[in-house]
């Protein structure tokens, strides 16, 4: 991928990463630079990273877009798959078939959940933050009903466990999944008509409507994609923990939003780069692992993440002033009908 080094956000993020890496190395007397440590960090990133891509996509779509239901949907998809798969094939007799069914059911559930979000937001016109808050509770509720609230062990199928715990050429498989998703979404945003339309829609919904962009379809597709990404996270969580649980990773919700905002994804919509998202997720992981390595309490980690976000927002503000001509007019009402439209806004 061609990287533009003129992007101040990217430079800032890479700088932060290098800084944390150097600090961790010096403070731990080199202990930090261990191959296993990097493999461990690389396998911890994807769960959060995939959820953050979903949040980023919904933010880019504008109109106050956000997906709060990510982790709940990831858990629900895992729970549904863990409940359904054993009835279809036995994990002991046909581990590959079990894995196939498990992954397929997870992805389908995620897609269905994402579509539900998308349809509620685009057709019924619910505010994304409220809609996904509601569906988050619904998804968690379903998962609780299916499991009774406790965790459910998944069948012992080697291929499924490999998705979460094995390496390919020394790289953890979850990390490869994460990179594949990043590249796919990056390509989608950068090189396809869908991406261009999404940026336009997020930048100025009114102008996008005049330009003939089908807002309903775009929003539905965006939230469906976000649901699918949640399901990918769901597969990885199930594989990495050998179990599914309705309230796993409840703390991920805000961290995923943090990653997206720190990656420079504009909360008002219309801007966001996947390469920045990668470095943002990496920075948080490096910081978190560094603190664990140096025996710094977890409370301080949260504090440092907050400080990092503020630092980033401050730096972004300075840069934005310089790039003022690119600043989108985000205040335009998005659900205003173009003149002559027969449909009335809901």
Partner 1 sequence: MRRTTIAAATMSTLAFAGALYAQGKPQEIVTVVKITGISWFNRMEVGVKEFGAANPGLVTRQIGPAQSDAAQQQRLVEDLVAKKVDAIAVVSMDPPTLEPVLKRALDRGIKVVTHEADNQKNTLADVEAFDNTAYGARLNDRLAACMGQQGKWTTLLGSLGSQSQVQWAHGGVDNAKKKYPKMQLVDPDNESLNDAEKAYGKAKEILRKHPDIKGFQGSSSLDVLGIGRAVEEAGLQGKVCVFGTGLPSEAAKYLESGAVGGIAFWDPKDAGIVMNKTAKLLLEGKKPTDGMDFGVQGYNKVSVTKGPGAGVIIRGQAWVEVDKANYKNYAF
For helices 298-322 and 252-262, angle between their N-to-C axes, nearest 10 degrees: 30
Kindly state whether residue 340 participates in binding partner 1, applying the rule CB under 8 A.
Answer: no
Residue 271 C-beta: closest distance to partner 1, Å: 26
* 69: helix, strand or coil: coil
Choice from 8, 11, 27, 38 touching partner 1 (CB under 8 A)? 38
Residues 6+ apart with CB under 8 A from 331: none
Span from 55-63, 181-189, 250-258, 336-344 in contact with partner 1 (CB under 8 A)? 250-258
List binders of partner 1 among 67-126 (CB under 8 A). Answer: none
Nearer to partner 1, 41 or 53 (CB): 41
Q: Which of 15, 19, 30, 180 binds partner 1 (CB under 8 A)?
A: 30
Among residues 240, 258, 261, 281, which is the contact residue for partner 1, using CB under 8 A?
A: 240
Report helix, strand or coil for 171. Answer: strand
Spatial separation of the C-alpha atoms in residues 138 and 22, rounded to whole Å:
44
Q: Which two tokens stand for residue 192?
A: 């396809």
Contact present, 215 and 122 (Cβ < 8 Å): yes
- Which residues within the stretch 156-185 sit at the binding site for partner 1 (CB under 8 A)? 161, 164-165
Where does this chain touch partner 1 (CB under 8 A) — which range of 61-69, 98-106, 198-206, 299-307? 299-307
Question: Can you state the angle between helices 70-88 and 215-241, rounded to 10 degrees?
Answer: 60
Stretch in the footprint of partner 1 (CB under 8 A) among 56-64, 151-159, 176-184, 268-276: 151-159
Buried (b) or exposed (e) across 304-333, using 16+ Cβ within 10 A? Answer: bbeebbeebeebbeeeeeeeeeeebebebe
User: How many whole angstroms separate alpha carbon 103 and alpha carbon 221?
Assistant: 21
Q: Given the complex with partner 1, which of 224 and 274 has the nearer CB atom?
A: 274
Strand-strand pairing, 152-153 and 167-168: unpaired
In angstroms, what is the minimal distance from the CB of 274 to partner 1?
18
Residue 2 to residue 12: CA distance in whole angstroms: 18
* Near partner 1 by CB under 8 A: residue from 54, 186, 249, 264: 249
- 299 near partner 1 (CB under 8 A): yes
Q: Which two tokens stand for residue 233?
A: 């996270």
Backbone angles phi and psi of 244, in degrees to 5: -125, 150
Q: Minimum distance from CB of 243 to partner 1 (Å)?
A: 4
| Structure tokens belonging to residue 341 | 């439209």
301 binds partner 1 (CB under 8 A): yes
Quote the least distance from Cβ 297 to partner 1, whole Å. 7
Q: One symbol per residue from 260 to 289: x for binding partner 1 (CB under 8 A), - otherwise; what is it?
A: ----------------------------xx
Closest by alpha carbon to 228, among 122, 70, 45? 70
User: Does 250 sit near partner 1 (CB under 8 A)?
Assistant: yes
Cβ atoms < 10 Å from Cβ of 263: 27
Q: Is 144 in the site for partner 1 (CB under 8 A)?
A: no
Our CA angle for 310, 259, 129, nearest 5°, is 95
Residue from the set 127, 191, 192, 298 that interacts with partner 1 by CB under 8 A = 298
Give the nearer residue to partner 1 in terms of CB position, either 45 or 224: 45
Binding site residues, partner 1, CB under 8 A: 25, 28-41, 43-44, 47, 148-153, 161, 164-165, 237, 240-243, 245, 247-252, 288-289, 292-293, 295, 297-299, 301-302
């Amino acid at each position: 991928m061609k990287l533009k080094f003129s992007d101040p956000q990217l430079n800032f993020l890479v700088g932060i990463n290098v800084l944390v890496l150097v600090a961790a190395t010096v403070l731990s007397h080199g202990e930090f630079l261990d191959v296993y440590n990097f493999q461990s960090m690389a396998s911890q990133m994807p769960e959060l990273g995939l959820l953050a891509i979903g949040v980023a996509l919904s933010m880019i779509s504008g109109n106050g877009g956000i997906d709060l239901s990510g982790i709940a949907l990831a858990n629900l998809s895992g729970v549904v798959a863990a409940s359904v798969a054993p009835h279809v094939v036995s994990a002991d007799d046909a581990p590959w078939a079990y894995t196939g069914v498990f992954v397929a059911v997870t992805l389908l559930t995620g897609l269905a959940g994402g579509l539900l979000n998308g349809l509620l937001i685009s057709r019924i016109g619910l505010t994304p933050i409220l809609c996904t808050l509601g569906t988050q509770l619904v998804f968690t509720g379903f998962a609780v009903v299916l499991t009774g609230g406790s965790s459910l062990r998944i069948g012992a199928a080697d291929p499924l466990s490999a998705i979460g715990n094995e390496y390919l050429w020394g790289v953890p498989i979850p990390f490869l999944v994460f990179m594949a998703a990043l590249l796919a979404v990056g390509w989608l945003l950068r090189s396809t008509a869908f991406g261009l339309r999404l940026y336009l829609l997020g930048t100025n919904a009114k102008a996008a409507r005049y330009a003939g962009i089908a807002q309903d379809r775009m929003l539905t597709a965006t939230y469906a994609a976000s649901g699918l990404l949640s399901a990918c996270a769901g597969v990885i969580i199930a594989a990495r923990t050998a179990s599914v649980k309705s309230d796993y990773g409840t703390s991920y919700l805000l961290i995923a939003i943090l990653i997206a905002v720190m990656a420079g994804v504009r909360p008002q919509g219309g801007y966001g780069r996947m390469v920045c998202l990668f470095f943002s997720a990496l920075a948080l992981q490096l910081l978190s692992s560094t603190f664990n390595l140096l025996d710094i309490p977890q409370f301080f980690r949260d504090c440092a993440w907050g400080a990092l976000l503020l630092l980033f927002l401050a730096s972004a503000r300075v840069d934005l002033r310089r790039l003022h001509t690119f600043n989108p007019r985000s205040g335009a009402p998005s659900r205003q009908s173009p003149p002559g439209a027969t449909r009335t806004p809901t």
